[in-house]
Structure 1
Amino acid sequence: MLPNIALDQLLLLDIETTPAVAAFGELPEQVQSLWLEKITKTLPDSADGTGDYAIKAGIFAEFGKVVCISAGFFTLENDHYQLRIKSFYDDDEKVVISGFLELVNKFYAKYPRFQFAGHNIKEFDIPYICRRSVIHQLSLPQPLQLHGFKPWEMPMLDTMQLWRFGDYKSYTSLKLLTTILGIPTSKDDIDGSMVASVYWNDRDLERIATYCQKDVVAVAQLMLRFKGVPLLKEEEVVIVK
Structure 2
Amino acid sequence: MAIVLLIRHGHSSANAAGVLAGWTEGVGLTDTGRTQAERVAARLAPLDVARAFSSPLQRCRETVALALPGLEASTDDRIGECHYGAWTGRPLSEAAKDPLWRTIQDDPAAAVFPPSEQYAAESLGEMAARVVGGVRALDAQVEEEHGKSAVWVAVSHGDPIKAVVAEAVGAGVAGLQRVRVDPGTVTAVHVTSTRMVLLASNTAEGELAPLVATPKDHAPGDSTVGGAAG
TM-score, normalized by length of structure 2?
A: 0.35
Larger Rg: 1
The structure with more helix, counted as a fraction of residues: 1
